[in-house]
A = this chain, B = another copy of it.
Amino acid sequence: MDCDILVIGAGVLGLSSAYHMKRRDPSKKILVIDKFSGPGQGNSAKSEGGFRNVFTSETNYLLADTSIDAYKEMEEQGHDIKLQFIGYLWLFSQGQHEAIKPAVDAIVKRGGSVTVLSLDELKESVPCLVTGFGGDEEAELMGLEDVAVGVFGEKCGSLDADALTRAYEAEFLRLGGEVMYNTEAKRLLLKPEEELGIPGEPFVWQNTRIVGAETSKGSINAAKTVIACGVWAASLMDPVGLDSFMRPKKRQLFAFKDAKLGPLFKVKGLNEEGSIPLTILPKAKILFRSELSEGSIWLGCADDLGRRFELEEDPQAEEDYYTNNVYHVLVKYFPCFEDVRPMNMWAGQYAINSLDETPVVYEAHGMYYIGAASGSGIMKADALGRIIDALVAGEEEAELQGGRRFRVANLGVRYRHVEHERFVI
């Protein structure tokens, strides 16, 4: 089988890439393959589905802000991706706020829709939040600090990651694109530019290119091969000695639905829905948000040290991890969680670029890589799809949603230029 462009991975990045490439030139034969049986079944659909435009890094801001605009347009065009602008709420201690203040000021100056909430405003908006732990020995033991300030981002919220992925698939198919599921890429195909037909090719003195992949359904030859398979990228790239600049790490999500959590749906003045924004605790990178479609709360925790880098085929959430770890901090800040058990839990994997936590997009020998999204693939997928489309088309700049322009090489290897992010979760 032959195609112009083979995209490996039908997750949100692969399908956004495929859609933008097909849109550029509908006459191109573009084929997306995935080992799973449907779109987003790797890690996309397992995402918490949070999105935000609150970043100090100009790169992160551009990628996310324009992608959010694109998602708004997709919803206007009839895709029900459940975009909810519930906002992001960072809870900071006094010390944390002092450290982050210059970054917040810079975001406000840029025109970001960010508000700083005083302690009183915070108490008024989120009455179920405990902000002070005076005399609580347990809280002291855990090193919990009083909450002093909230930083609220307006152009932030949640979406249905599965629906977003399916929306890109639908648009891609509508333009005539092809997707094959249950089709696993086994290895990348290498071929000398000028084949001699001598055993042992390719030799070190030949110019060699990636020309597709051997899959579970036979060889697929392609002029250009796009690797967009997230944490599985290394399995294809390591064998040919190309770096995916990411390591996989498990992330767990716990969903709760309980009458006790009612106060989290009675929040004032932060969003139209009156529900708790995606809220980041001042401790242990614990975050949760309301999921309005089912009236539930989704909670995650970005544990770093001690959480291994490892590719897992079927990562599982650990109830014990919530019960013995996260719960004890969570219930101090939000006592409404007391004795509430998760009704559901699942786990996915992040493809983490530890160096600058920014996605990587580069070309080498006919292979085009998009990955290392470090957990922000959902919220940056539109911009990233446009950027790899520009790279594949040989353009130096990509046009992002709304006409803003982005220098493709900034996300590459040789001329990489990304800023250090201060607003990490």
Contact mask for chain A residues 325-350; partner B; CB cutoff 8 A; 1 contact, 0 none: 11011000000000000000000000
Chain A 405-425 residues near chain B, CB threshold 8 A:
413-416, 420
A353 to chain B, nearest CB (A): 9
Cβ A328 vs Cβ B141 within 8 A: no
Per a CB cutoff under 8 Å, which of B205, B308, B415 touches A238?
Answer: B308
Q: Bound complex: CA of A85 vs CA of B305, how far in Å?
A: 45
List which A9-37 residues lie within 8 A (CB) of chain B.
none
Taken together as a complex, chains A and B put the C-alpha atoms of A203 and B306 apart, in Å, by 10
Chain B residues lying within 8 Å of A286, measured Cβ to Cβ, are 204
Cβ of A68 to closest chain B Cβ, rounded Å: 27
Of A69-77, A86-94, A156-164, A239-247, the segment with at least 4 beta carbons within 8 Å of chain B is A239-247
A-B contacts besides A240-B305, A241-B307, 12 pairs, CB < 8 Å = A141-B196, A143-B205, A202-B306, A203-B325, A205-B283, A238-B247, A239-B308, A241-B304, A241-B309, A243-B355, A245-B354, A355-B355
Q: What residues of B have a CB within 8 angstroms of the CB of A416 in the complex?
A: 355
24 residue pairs A–B, Cβ–Cβ below 8 Å: A143-B205, A190-B305, A202-B306, A203-B324, A204-B285, A204-B286, A204-B303, A204-B325, A204-B326, A205-B283, A205-B284, A205-B325, A205-B328, A208-B306, A238-B247, A238-B309, A238-B310, A239-B309, A240-B305, A243-B354, A243-B355, A245-B355, A305-B364, A355-B416
Would A413 and B355 count as touching, CB distance under 8 A?
yes
**How many residues of chain A get a CB closer than 8 Å to chain B's CBs?**
53
The 0/1 profile, CB within 8 Å of B marked 1, for residues 203-228 of chain A is 11111100000000000000000000
Q: Given B196, B240, B324, which contacts A308 in the complex, CB threshold below 8 Å?
A: B240
Chain multiplicity (copies): 2
With A249-B241, A324-B200, A355-B245: A305-B205 Cβ-Cβ less than 8 Å: no
The residues of B that contact A364 with a CB separation of less than 8 Å are 305
A354 to B247, CA, bound (A): 14
Could you tell me if A200 and B325 are in contact, using CB atoms closer than 8 angstroms?
A: yes
B243 touches A309 (CB 8 A): yes
Q: Answer yes or no: A101 CB below 8 A from chain B CBs.
A: no
> A329 touching B205 by the CB < 8 A rule?
yes
Chain B residues whose C-beta falls within 8 Å of the C-beta of A142 in the assembled complex: 205-206
B contact residues around A283 at 8 Å (CB): 205
**B-contacting residues, A224-261, CB 8 Å:** 237-243, 245, 247, 249
* A143: min CB distance to chain B, Å: 7
The one of B241, B306, B420 that contacts A306, using a Cβ cutoff of 8 Å: B241
